[in-house]
Structure 1
C-alpha cells in the first residue's frame, strides 16, 4: 500500500504475514537499487550524520533506486531480517534485479543475513556491525562484495567485530577502520559517506 506524501519519496506499508513493514522508497530507472537499515534504535535511524538520508537522494541521481526499511522489532535479528527481505522483495517486484544492502550495528548482521537469502543482492555494506548474525558471510554467492566500516573508538561494539566479519567474507571485500570515530560514526561522517557512496556506485 502506498501512503501519499508531499515529499519526493513514497511512504510504503508492506503487508506481510508477520506484520506491517514501513519503508521509504525513492524510485529510479534501471536495474539497480539499494536498501538501508539502521540498528537497535528503531525508526528510520541513520549513522554518520544522516548518511542514509544523503544516500537516499544522491544514489537516485546516479540511477540507483533507494529504500529505507524500518524494523518492526529492532532488537530481534530474525524478525529484522524478514523486514529487510520484505523490502528487497518489493524492490524486485519493481523490476530491480541488482541490489545492495547497507546496515548499521544490528543492521550489519541483518544485511548479511538478507544477502544470503536473496540472490539479487550484489553487495553488502556493514557499518559498525555486531558479530552475532554475521555467520552467513563465508557462504554468500561468489562475486557478492562486502564492505566493512568501523570506528576504532566504538565503545558499544568493538572494532574487532568488523575485522572478524571482513576475515569471514570472501573477496571482493574491503575493511575501513576509522581513527577517532565512535559507534555512530558521526566523527567521520564525510569519510563514511565518500567510502560507501563510491563503493555502492561500483558494486551494485
Structure 2
C-alpha cells in the first residue's frame, strides 16, 4: 500500500423501500465534499487494481477533509436497482450536510454512476473506470458543468476502450479521456498513475 495509513470506516445498512443497502462510510470531520465509489458486476465492496485502489483513495481523501462512501450493490443484475443504491448513498450524504459529491464507478458501476448523476444536482464530478457503454448514453442528459473523467486500459479484453470513448464523446465539457497503454480491465498495471489522475481531477473540480 506504499506506506499510506488506511482510514477506518463505519459499516452502514441504509433502509430503502427495496430493502437495506450496505455501505462503508469513511467520514472526515467537517467535510462538505464526499466521494461515492462502486465496483462492478462482481458485487460486494470490490475495487479495481486488485482491491487496493478504493481503500487508498478513501484514506487519501480523508486526509483532505473529504468523506468517502463505498456502496455494495443489492443486485448487480439490475442496472436500475443499482442506480437506486447509489441514489440512496447520495441521500445519506445529503443528511450528512454534504453539498458536493463525486461518483466513481468501475466497469458496470461506470454506467450506474452516470445514470445516478443524471438524477442529482449534488453530483459535481463523475469518474468512470473501464466503463461499459450500455446504459451510459444518458450522460448527454447530465447538466452542463458536471466534470467527467473517463479512464480505460487499451488491453481491456472485457470491455474495449471504445466504451469509454463513446461515453466521452456524448459528455458535456468539462471532460477528459485517459487511455492507459498495456493496461487491462482491472487497471492494476497503471494503478499509481490512475490514482493520481483521480485525485487531481477531484482537486480541480470537486473542491470549490
Tell whether the structures are fold-level matches, with TM greater than 0.5: yes
Q: Tell me how far apart the structure 2 counterparts of residues 36 and 8 of structure 1 sit (CA, whole Å).
A: 16
Q: Aligned with 1:135: secondary structure?
A: helix
Superposed CA deviations along residues 173-192 of structure 1, whole A, max 9, x for unmatched, are: 00000000000101111111
The 8 Å contact of residues 48 and 192 in structure 1, kept in 2 or not, is answered as no
Q: What number of residue pairs does the alignment pair up?
A: 198
Q: Tell me how far apart the structure 2 counterparts of residues 9 and 30 of structure 1 sit (CA, whole Å).
A: 15
Match of 1:166 among 165, 168, 172: 168
Displacement after TM superposition at 1:57 (Å):
1.0
User: Structure 2 length normalisation: TM-score?
Assistant: 0.93
The 8 Å contact of residues 21 and 72 in structure 1, kept in 2 or not, is answered as yes
Displacement after TM superposition at 1:19 (Å):
1.1
Match of 1:78 in 2: 80
The 5-angstrom pairing of residues 82-93 of structure 1 reads 82-93=84-95
Displacement after TM superposition at 1:104 (Å):
0.3
Q: Does 1:42 align with 2:43?
A: yes
Match of 2:135 in 1: 133
Match of 1:21 in 2: 21
Q: Does 1:104 align with 2:111?
A: no
Unmatched 5+ stretches in structure 1: 1-6
Q: Tell me how far apart the structure 2 counterparts of residues 30 and 53 of structure 1 sit (CA, whole Å).
A: 18
Match of 2:3 in 1: none
Superposed CA deviations along residues 30-76 of structure 1, whole A, max 9, x for unmatched, are: 31000000001110000024110101111011011100000011221
User: Structure 1 length normalisation: TM-score?
Assistant: 0.95
RMSD: 1.0
Match of 2:70 among 68, 89, 93: 68
Q: Tell me how far apart the structure 2 counterparts of residues 161 and 181 of structure 1 sit (CA, whole Å).
A: 15
Q: Aligned with 2:37: secondary structure?
A: strand
Displacement after TM superposition at 1:92 (Å):
0.7
Deviation beyond 4 Å, 4+ runs, structure 1: none
Superposed CA deviations along residues 138-179 of structure 1, whole A, max 9, x for unmatched, are: 111111000000000000001001001100000000000000
